[in-house]
Amino acid sequence: MAIGPQADQILNMWKEIEFFEDKIDHELANKKVAPNSQVNTGVPSGMSFSHFQIIKERYLKAGWADVKWNSDQREGDWLTFSTIKLD
């Protein structure tokens, strides 16, 4: 396999995604999830929307119906994981 000049950046991005996913998984594991419900977690420090787009797809494939990035000036940023499809 030939590697290009951005190989280090791509590898680093995947390592960051794994790191953020581990943090989110840990937070989700400590929450009770009921059918037809939503669970909120914090957005890991340093996670960008580019990371989120890939992470979201991975959680959808894992069985979540929807994952949203929410933001509020006072509350900050958080992720909402849903067992039902959100509008």
pLDDT in the model for residue 54: 95
pLDDT in the model for residue 2: 63
Computed from CA positions of residues 37, 70, 73, 31, in that sequence, does the dihedral angle turn out positive or negative?
Answer: positive
pLDDT tens column, 36-52: 899 999 999 999 999 99
pLDDT in the model for residue 52: 97
